[in-house]
Each structure stands twice: as C-alpha cells, then as structure tokens.
Amino acid sequence: MKCYQVIGYYICELCDTPEWLRGISRQILSVSGCVGDQHPRWECFMGGWDKQAI
C-alpha cells in the first residue's frame, strides 16, 4: 500500500531505498514530479498518482 504525505507544497512517497543508496536508510521520501514544477501536470490527476512515474 502506498502512503503519500504532504510536506509543504510537495506530495512525497515513502519508497524503498535504491540499491546504490543502501546503508543510509531502508526507506526514503521521494518527491512526486507531478507538483514539482510551477504548475501541476494534469496527466497526474487524470490517471491517478499510481500511474505517474515518480
């Protein structure tokens, strides 16, 4: 189950740490690209967050 958290103006996803970052932590917060720009991308909202590459 995916959990999203709002931190300021960003929607973040708790992800497993990639292999090349192992040793720092087992999980990291990843900022969604849907709201990282000046304006949100509408395709993120039309297809749902799960379909958007983060």
The full set of domain ranges for the chain reads 4-51
Q: Which long-range contacts (CB under 8 A, 24 or more apart) does 29-32 make?
A: 29/5, 30/54, 32/4
Residue 16: what pLDDT? 82
Residue 46: what pLDDT? 56
Residue-wise pLDDT tens for the chain (54 aa)? 667 666 666 667 777 887 877 787 888 777 665 554 555 566 665 555 554 444
DSSP one-letter code for 38: S
Check: CB of residue 31 under 8 Å from CB of residue 12. yes
Residue 54: what pLDDT? 46
- In this prediction the pTM is 0.38
Residue 17: what pLDDT? 81
